[in-house]
Amino acid sequence: MANPQEPTGPINPETELALLREAVASIDVGFSVFDAELRLVTCNARFLELLDFPQNLGTPGTPFEDFIRFNANRGEYGPGDVDELVRERVERSRLMEPHRFDRQRLDGRRIEIVGRPMASGGFVTTYLDRTLDREPLAGKGIDFTTLLRALEHTSEGFHIWDADDRMLYANARMRSLGESQGIPVRIGMTFEEHIRMRVEAGMVLDALDDPESYIAWRLEMHRVGDRSHVSGVSDGRHLLVHDYRLPDGGTVTTTLDITEMKRTETAQQESEARLRDFVTASSDRFWEMDENLRFTMLVDTNEDRQHPPTEQFFGKTRWEQAGVDLDQDPAWREHAATLHAHHPFRDFRYTIPNPDGEVRYWRLSGVPIFNEKGTFRGYRGTSTDETEWRLEREAARRELQIALREAEVANRAKSLFLATVGHELRTPLNAIIGFSDLLVGQVFGDLGDARYLEYARDVRASGHHLLTLIEDVLDLSRVEMGHIQLRESKIDLTTEIQAAITMTRSRHAEAPATIDVDLPRDLPPLWADGRLLRQILINLLSNAVKFTPSDGRIEVTGALDADGVLLRIADDGIGINSRDLDKILRPFEQADNRLSREYEGIGLGLPLAKSFVELHGGRLDIESAPGVGTTVSIRLPMERIRASAPPVSAVDAGG
């Protein structure tokens, strides 16, 4: 008798295949095999049972697409275009990638699906019912009342609907939400009634354009189950809604207020968009280094830039890429020390040649990166190519230098011209003044008609006026050419002021405004150029008299303090607009530049006075307002107060 435990011989292939098919048909796991063309090779009955497929789909050779379309038509994949849903899933399956996921069926069951590709092509998939694996973990002491109390205190909204989609329960959160929106929540109402009331109340933003389409979509989402969506509410909140299908056909709907999360997400998206815009608009390079200061990332926003190529940076330090020896370059050595110390840096500049020999100028800025534990992880920063800017700046600098030289040449030519013309005019003018003096003095006898004497006086006055203008022009040209040298001596300021007042009055035919002088009696003498100081006073007093009516008042005051001598000439004349103060201190310019201006003069009095004051190391300031008057202040330094001995050397106006 043969031993039943001993093998009776090899099993033939047909028997082996029959046993395998019987085993696959007997297991409690769904099983399917599709070939490389996505056609069914074989499947067991459990596969058709778990997924509720009709028997005819289990025929070998059935396309995988038929199974997917059957599911899409009955809503297994949720709402959407059936053809698009089928296309997406078929394309994904053609990748033949291993996959594992859970799918919740419309009846609430949860199926674990595991697929693996086969070496010969195609894939084998198993399907396991995991519904009972989700049994809640609860102690023996928990009861229904305790569960309800817990649901009442949760911050998440909670609805339970029966198999007919009628409300069985709504927790406190959902009741409060309904009351705040004016929407009643009652046991027994259908899910569709609940949705319609929210839509009709205008609470659902997504339903404003097409309410019925939204209601149909929401009902389908609820029917399919295991789907989440974000619902915008008219009061500005955002709610995350999820439907869970139960094994008994009911549904649990949860609602979570994610408004703050949504705001944070929106702010982050705006920040990212803003950053993308900055990067897009920039012409810089953005880079990142690791903890060893070697480049791990470099993005160039200028696609036309070719040098240095970005690929040359990766895995190198910047000085390695630039070909710099730190021992030979102090600037690079200091920069490397900054990086090794993990300090931020800004505007480090260096040059690097292109293959054609052209030098490129770069400017760098960067910040160190640390993880949450404070460990140094590298640097991030930007690199700006300043080559074009440098070239433009250098060209502008050269043009400016040329323009300055040309202006200096033109100015010297102008000054030389004025000096030459002034000298040429002064010689015949002196003769005219001399002859007019002879006529006015009637040196060679009576002129006869009195009108000849009057005309001679007019000629002499005009000659003296013209001579004064010429002297001013010559002084200006000497100042600009640096040819004035101070002839200093001990000067009594009170005497000079009185002399200037006398000369000013004599030059004006009409009675000028009252001129008052208030100087301290102990005012010490000044060490100054008497002629220039007198010219300063005459120019300022002449201006004050010219622009002050005869019934006005002019005050000359002085003071001595720790900084030196302060002299002020103030009038209550017509005044000057503040926007014209700079202009009147420039040669040949006046506040009134009209061709038919009211007041005579060529605009040299104030510029010359200012230049002469500055030759003495002083400062001239003007304060004025229309209708109020003008105050000119002269500040001469303490060094100008000399009781006796002169300074060792004269002041050179050119120096």
Question: Could you tell me the CATH number of the domain that includes residue 608?
Answer: 3.30.565.10
Task: Provide the pLDDT confidence category of residue 345 given band limits of 50, 70 and 90.
Answer: very high
Q: What is the pLDDT of residue 183?
A: 82
Q: Where are the alpha helices (DSSP H) in 241-329?
A: 259-281, 318-322
Token pair belonging to 41 = 């090779």
Count: domains in the chain: 5
Task: Provide the pLDDT confidence category of residue 649 given band limits of 50, 70 and 90.
Answer: very low
Domain membership of residue 86 as a residue range? 16-134
157 part of a folded domain:
yes
Q: State whether 227 and 151 are in the same domain.
A: yes
The pLDDT > 70 percentage for the chain reads 83
Q: Which domain CATH number covers 339?
A: 3.30.450.20
Q: State whether 422 and 437 are in the same domain.
A: yes
Cα 447 from chain centroid? 85
Q: State whether 636 and 503 are in the same domain.
A: yes
Alpha-carbon torsion, ordered 263, 267, 269, 273, to 10 deg: 150
Q: Let me know: does 421 contact 427? Beta carbons within 8 Å.
A: no
Q: What is the pLDDT of residue 654?
A: 39
Q: State whether 399 and 369 are in the same domain.
A: no
Question: What crossing angle do the helices spanning 530-546 and 605-615 adopt, rounded to 10°?
Answer: 150
428 part of a folded domain:
yes
Q: State whether 320 and 397 are in the same domain.
A: no
Q: State whether 376 and 426 are in the same domain.
A: no
Helix (H, G, I), strand (E, B) or coil at 7: coil
Q: Please tell me the least confidently modeled range out of 4-8, 39-43, 252-256, 649-653.
A: 649-653
Q: End-to-end CA distance of the chain: give it in Å, rounded.
A: 138
Q: State whether 335 and 466 are in the same domain.
A: no
- 70-93 per-position pLDDT tens digit: 988 888 887 778 898 899 989 988
277 part of a folded domain:
no
Last residue of some domain: 134, 167, 184? 134
For residue 575, pLDDT beyond 80: yes
Q: State whether 124 and 151 are in the same domain.
A: no
Average pLDDT, the chain: 81
Q: Which residues contact 405 (CB under 8 A, 6 or more apart)?
A: none
Distance between CA atoms of 574 and 552, rounded to whole angstroms?
A: 10
Task: Provide the pLDDT confidence category of residue 10 given band limits of 50, 70 and 90.
Answer: low
Q: What is the pLDDT of residue 475?
A: 66
For residue 353, pLDDT beyond 60: yes
479 part of a folded domain:
no
49 part of a folded domain:
yes
Q: State whether 57 and 122 are in the same domain.
A: yes
Last residue of some domain: 385, 417, 439? 385
251 part of a folded domain:
yes
243 part of a folded domain:
yes
Distance between CA atoms of 266 and 300, rounded to whole angstroms?
A: 28
Q: What is the pLDDT of residue 35?
A: 92
For residue 23, pLDDT beyond 80: no
Alpha-carbon torsion, ordered 43, 45, 50, 53, to 10 deg: 80
Helix (H, G, I), strand (E, B) or coil at 423: helix
4 part of a folded domain:
no
Q: Please tell me the least confidently modeled range out of 38-47, 259-268, 451-460, 467-476.
A: 467-476
Q: State whether 245 and 314 are in the same domain.
A: no
Distance between CA atoms of 227 and 214, rounded to whole angstroms?
A: 15
Q: State whether 373 and 430 are in the same domain.
A: no
Token pair belonging to 186 = 């009652």
Last residue of some domain: 89, 104, 134? 134
Q: State whether 358 and 410 are in the same domain.
A: no
